[in-house]
Structure 1
Amino acid sequence: MSDHEARVSYTEVADQEVRSLRVRYCRLRTAGGEPVAELEAHSFHLRFGAVAVAAEGIGGVETEPQFRLQGHMSRLLRQALAGMAQRVDVAFVSNGIEGVYEQFGFVGAVTEGHLVIPVRNVEQAAEGDPGTAVSGIRSGSPADLPAMIRLYNTAHARRPWTHARHAGWNRLIPQATWKPGSQTLILQIDSAAVGYAVLEGRAFGDPLGSLTVDELVAENAAAARLMLVAIARLCWQRRLSEFTVREPADSLTGRVARHMGCTYQQRFPPSGGMMAAVLNRSSLVRKLDRELRRRAAVQQPDKDYDTAFDALRRGDLLPDDKALIRLLLGQWSTDDAYVHGISIPKRYGDLCTAWFPGGGTQSLPTPYAHRLDRY
């Protein structure tokens, strides 16, 4: 331990509620109590398909200017991860810095993507005057949050990386002076909410040059189509030619938009971005047993399954935890693993192909990080 590390001490402040997430503050301070560095450990449940597990995510990482470039952040991350490993089996970073988090076991495990939808395409698929309001569309309110949570959890029940939103969830961005907040639209049919859209807020004075939808979720294809028509007609009023929807291409919204005609733009960062790390391999794999059985269509006792599962849990099969997290989340398929030089014994080949089909397949949707759950 170097001299400058010896002069600081590590503390954790118990969980606090911050925008519907439980947050634990991990800090380094000098012997005199002066702040040195701090990060936040956010608690949530994240899906690996049809199973959600308790997880923690690192955010709010900061070192005071006078203590930078002295190795304090590395020490803070090591100690924070050691504490996280006592509580959960997997850790995440919502927006990792390039070339930093890899040394702590993290790896990029989800890509950015969004739909760009021409207003003209939606108008052609819709009926009636493009300036006419869609029946059943109204502004949302806090009273709509339970229905929105239900719709979201149902729509993305098997999508890796998505959060399992709890009953008290509210990550909508509040409005403040000079700061735009979320604008919510609700589609209501027969007194029930069957769809919603959360529009990215526009600050006072911003040009009317774009419209972005942070989330668009619907109960069925007809409702998704009406929501897209409502957004297109809002664009028509603002004289916009297209709008952006931050939803995956294989979601219900994405499929309806693809039928109308759209572009899907995706980004694959080589480093940084949204990252994940396995903290306790054996425990994590055990918790995902039900999900792995679902993917492999194995529900009854099966000797071959049990043998392969135990090998995966121990690390005899796929010992690289960075590759494992990508495979579990659907960022990689077994073919991707082969491309990167990772071999799978022949006796486990068929089962691993079923376990790790990659996102965007019938058994496993594309992993996707929704904007409102980032921290």
Structure 2
Amino acid sequence: MTDEMRHFSGDRGITTVVLMRGEERLSSTEVIPMTMQVGHARLRMDGIGGVATAEEHRYKGYSRRVLEEAMSLMTAGDAVLTTLYGIPNFYPKYGYATLGPEPIIELQTLEERTRFPDGLTVRDGEPGDLPALRRLYRNETSTAIGALVRDDDWWIWGMLDEALKPDANQVRVVVRDNMVVGYAWKAATCWWMEHWTRHKPDGFKIGEAFAADAEAADGVLAMCRLWSLDEKREQVAMAIPVTGQVGAAARLQNVNVLERYGDETEFMGRSTGLVALLRAMRPKLESRWRTVIGSMQSFAITVVTGGERATVIGNEQGIEIRTGGDGDIKVAIDPGNVARLVLGGFNPNRVLERLGAPKSVVPVLSLLFPQRFPYIYPADRF
């Protein structure tokens, strides 16, 4: 019987790519359409999830065929990036590279800093809080790197709405003048938090925390300490980046900030459309370039990525992205390292050095693609 590759459309625009033999599923994966915030740019990104091969059909190359089909589907579509959370030593063959570290903030003690700033109160989350939680998430992630754009119909809001039901004990909020100005969510039912808890069961875990300002962030941290004292009396571990309000406030207290790096594993990605990606990033690239116009020489650098090439031109008029014809100098950057540069999870000088890039392009590309801290919140992971 001949094997056949099929595509099945599902909810939320998800396409399931399945290798079938008759009506038997041999191997499959999901292509999940998303939008990622990268500074002021919003990039179409496809997530890869649910990679699975039936036990009796493993080690036969079926997952490779499915991933290759998924890559063809994505590169033919409108996504400019693809990301996934991967097992070690499997995804680089499809062009994926690790995009940055996994941060964890651990509050060292529970008894200190448990007093709330004047004017703040704390309570359990309630169903009517959802609009305020949306506002807090969107305000803080509107210029973040890597956070997913959550439209009103984004499925995570339904998950959070369930977490706000009476007796769910999943969300607590900080209130000022009858307005919710901060929240913490365990997000205990999302797969990544379940995975973390399974591998490290100790600790009181928070999967998402946001605050309107520094005072509210202090309130969120105090709230999490008291929440743990109420329940488990264990160290609070928060899966949040240090770049947000709560993460920044935590760094002024007694905490451990952990950054776990993986060798070709965990948060990984690659470009799926070089020209469209650079054009989507052009306004941000231009804003960075304008800070040095007059002090840095104009340039025309052609980036070659697989079968694609695009020329980035910087001069007194700003930044332009062109196709056809080469610039003054060429640099070959594979799709995984294109994603690394765009999201900024590593020092760009080191990334370019390891690629053997011409020395003359390093100052320019390091300016255009500075180091940042890309992060997708656990509830959004796939």
Is this a same-fold pair by TM over 0.5? yes
Q: Identify the residue that residue 317 of structure 1 maps to in structure 2.
A: 331
Would the alpha carbon gap of residues 283 and 190 (structure 1) be closer, same or farther in structure 2, given more than 3 Å must change?
Answer: same
Q: How far apart in 2 are the matches of 1:156 and 1:305?
A: 33
Matched, 1:16 2:8: no
Contact 1:44 1:54 survives alignment (8 Å): yes
Cα offsets for 1:308-343 (capped at 9, x unmatched)? 485246693343332221111101233212442432
Question: CA–CA distance in 2 between the matches of 1:305 and 1:15?
Answer: 48
Q: What is the DSSP-based 3-state SS (H/G/I as helix, E as strand, rest coil) of the residue aligned with 2:19?
A: strand
Query: What are the ranges of 5 or more consecutive residues in structure 2 without an aligned counterpart?
Result: 303-309, 313-320
Give how far 1:299 is off.
11
What amino acid is aligned across from residue 340 of structure 2 in structure 1?
R
Counterpart check, 1:212 vs 2:205: yes
Paired letter, 1:267? R
Q: Which structure carries more strand by proportion?
A: 2
CA distance in 2: counterparts of 1:234 and 1:64, whole angstroms: 42
1:26 and 2:17 are equivalent in the alignment: yes
Residue in structure 2 matched with residue 372 of structure 1 by the alignment? 379
Aligned counterpart for 1:7 among listed residues 2, 23, 29:
2
> What displacement does 1:90 show?
3.4
Question: Which whole-Å CA distance do the structure 2 matches of 1:327 and 1:122 have between them?
Answer: 40
Structure 1 segments of 4+ aligned residues over 6 angstroms from their partners: 173-176, 303-306
Letter of the 2:54 counterpart: E
- In structure 1, what is the Cα distance between the partners aligned to 2:9 and 2:362? 45
Aligned residue for 2:275, secondary structure, equals: helix
1:194 aligns with 2:201: no
Write out per-residue CA displacement over residues 181-225 of structure 1, whole angstroms, 9 at most, x where no aligned residue. Answer: 77011222223221111024499xx9x963111111001000111
Of 218, 241, 254, the residue aligned with 1:261 is 254
Taking structure 1 as the reference length, what is the TM-score of the superposition?
0.82
1:357 pairs, out of 332, 354, 370, with 370
Offset of 1:153 from its aligned partner?
2.0
Cα separation, 1, equivalents of 2:141 and 2:51: 29
Q: Which moved more, 1:187-196 or 1:314-323?
A: 314-323
**Identity level (%):** 20
Name the SS of the counterpart of 1:161 in structure 2.
strand
Aligned residues: 347
Give the residue type in structure 1 aligned to 2:341.
L
Counterpart Cα distance in 2 of 1:167 and 1:175 = 15
Q: Partners of 2:89 and 2:202 in 1: how far apart?
A: 35
Q: Which moved more, 1:248-257 or 1:230-239?
A: 230-239
The offset of 1:293, in angstroms, is 1.7
Contact 2:105/2:258 (CA < 8 Å) preserved in 1?
Answer: yes
Letter matched to residue 240 of structure 1: R
TM-score, structure 2 length as denominator?
0.80
CA distance in 1 between counterparts of 2:70 and 2:235 reads: 44
Whole-angstrom distance in 2 between the partners of 1:134 and 1:77: 53
Q: Which residue of 1 aligns with 2:340?
A: 326
The residue correspondences of 1:108-187 to structure 2 (distance < 5 A) are 108-120=98-110, 122-123=112-113, 126=115, 135-171=120-156, 172=159, 183-187=170-174
The verdict on how the C-alpha distance between 1:223 and 1:153 changes in structure 2, with shifts beyond 3 A counting, is: same
Moved more, 291-300 or 163-172: 291-300
Counterparts in 2 of 1:193 and 1:127: CA distance versus 1, 3 Å: closer
Confirm or deny: 8 A CA contact 1:39 1:61 kept in the other structure: yes
Conserved? CA contact 1:89–1:281, under 8 Å:
no
The structure-2 alpha-carbon separation of the partners of 1:134 and 1:115, relative to structure 1 and needing over 3 Å to count, comes to farther
